[in-house]
Structure 1
């Protein structure tokens, strides 16, 4: 998503709207990486809990558990403002950067169900997510596949769904001065880059940091960069993006649901090209070992449920 660089006027207005940071919050700089010392490794994550129970599993303890993954928020999050506040506060206490993914648009991706009960409920919910972060540093990826799979919905619904994404973008642009927010743009095969760029513009991507690609998918970094370059060209540049590298070490076999013979990708990090490059970060947006749903290698495992068997497949690439 095209994020035009936030202007000084907008940043000043956002800080004034928030007031001075409360004790424990960061002063606004706009760059969450400068305020933190690495990505937040959640000690309460499912993989961390597994390793504590199974210290003999040195492969998981060394290949997956030490690396930061992402905190997904949705209908399962309960009071989402309280949940997000707790998560980002815990990260700030250790001076690390939390990464979150919101997944609560009505109907979610291609009508798989769940999500907010109405447009109004979503607006209230995403505002609560934003309030839970406040001025603390964070990275947020907004609504996986919401733009890329827009064609799954009747054309009469498109404007309304894009309007909700625009609302989310506007909230984070105005209320979270130390958050880099990225609007999800699908994967390397999610359609024509010019059309994805058009949808990103409609959702006001220029107000935030940029867009995200390959969320919970398997396409190689090289494929993703090539697609991202076309999106950037269609947008006219001026934006940034992040790539999910958690499970793309062997690339995609065409399936995005627990396929066999996939492999871990590069660990989460600021990209080697540095802060001047359009690609900001490599992130693990789906924790390696967490299920994509009841399919593929784990036909009975619900989404986001951790499986040591899946994790070991990713470690070995088999």
Structure 2
């Protein structure tokens, strides 16, 4: 894959209570009420995103503190672990037979501390076109797996980013129609839930706004809150803001979120563990009423993009990388 692309590197029926749920301040990501939710303002405003106590950053921070509690590395990794980041739902870790219970447990834990979890659904068949993050489910199992996740989140406030790279890569892998249909399945699965759903749109250094918008429109972006940009990439926020606004104009005003986890210095044309990058703005919802709903840390900053530029396998934690990104950001 060329340097303009993004590789990720990782590890119910109609709800009849829709009206009272909206009255309580929750936003329904369904076909019937998406437009109402969007008009009511940013559904993420005022939310505190979930800090996963079992994140790879937390595991690394704990190990560093045990090894040398007074070290600068332990302090930096501890600060990183305090930042809320997305939980990637991959069938290799969350298989079909346990995913519903697993997601329910995470959502319950977040609810108990008054936080909103951010999930990334990442199990599409032939994931990543066989590259660093290859894997995924069979075409038979995938719809059931996604439906199980949606069932777990039916009445749980959450953010869901649906299948990073799937639509954007389809333009290179020659499976656009298949991918559009698969994303449509995901959109339908989350329709009767209160999850705030964003379809992945690639990023500003990959697709043109027209191409991204066409894919999103075909996949059903009008039926969800909007789209996500820069997932697991490095492009600066200004570039992603311009890209997001251009795509929004072509998708009926869809809102968007940006992955700012590693975009503090912008990109350099590489997508796989490029040197000289920095942590970006910390996760928070926007409050200016603009099209961007939030900055999120979708990618855990210390996880490798793949076996490139001296990195370990995709999704594995890499202390040196995490500390480098933090130092470059002035942490």
> Is the structural similarity TM-score above 0.5?
yes
Name 2:120's counterpart in structure 1: 101
Tell me how far 1:28 sits from its aligned partner: 6.7
Tell me the C-alpha RMSD between the 2 structures.
2.2
Residues 128, 135 of structure 2: 8 Å contact kept:
no
What TM-score does the superposition give when structure 2 sets the normalisation length? 0.82
- Structure 1: stretches of 5+ with no match in the other structure: 1-12
Q: Deviations over 1:43-97 (max 9, x none)?
A: 11121122222223112222x1111001001122122112211111111111101
Name 1:216's counterpart in structure 2: 232
Name 1:286's counterpart in structure 2: 299
Residues 167, 176 of structure 2: 8 Å contact kept:
no
Matched, 1:232 2:220: no
Name 1:3's counterpart in structure 2: none
Name 2:55's counterpart in structure 1: 45
Q: Deviations over 1:15-61 (max 9, x none)?
A: 3289999xxxx967217647x75111111112112222222311222
Q: Deviations over 1:230-259 (max 9, x none)?
A: 11122242x210000000001111111111
Matched, 1:122 2:142: yes
SS of the residue corresponding to residue 49 of structure 1 reads helix
Residues 261, 301 of structure 2: 8 Å contact kept:
yes
Matched, 1:256 2:271: yes
Residues 27, 135 of structure 1: 8 Å contact kept:
no
Residues 14, 176 of structure 1: 8 Å contact kept:
no
For 2:297 and 2:14, how far apart are their aligned partners in 1? 29
Name 2:316's counterpart in structure 1: 305
Name 1:149's counterpart in structure 2: 169
Specify which of 84, 90, 94 is matched with residue 103 of structure 2: 84
Matched, 1:135 2:155: yes
For 2:306 and 2:321, how far apart are their aligned partners in 1? 12
Change (3 A) 1:248 1:121: same
Name 1:7's counterpart in structure 2: none
Residues 201, 228 of structure 2: 8 Å contact kept:
yes
The number of equivalent residue pairs is 290
- Structure 2: stretches of 5+ with no match in the other structure: 1-12, 29-42
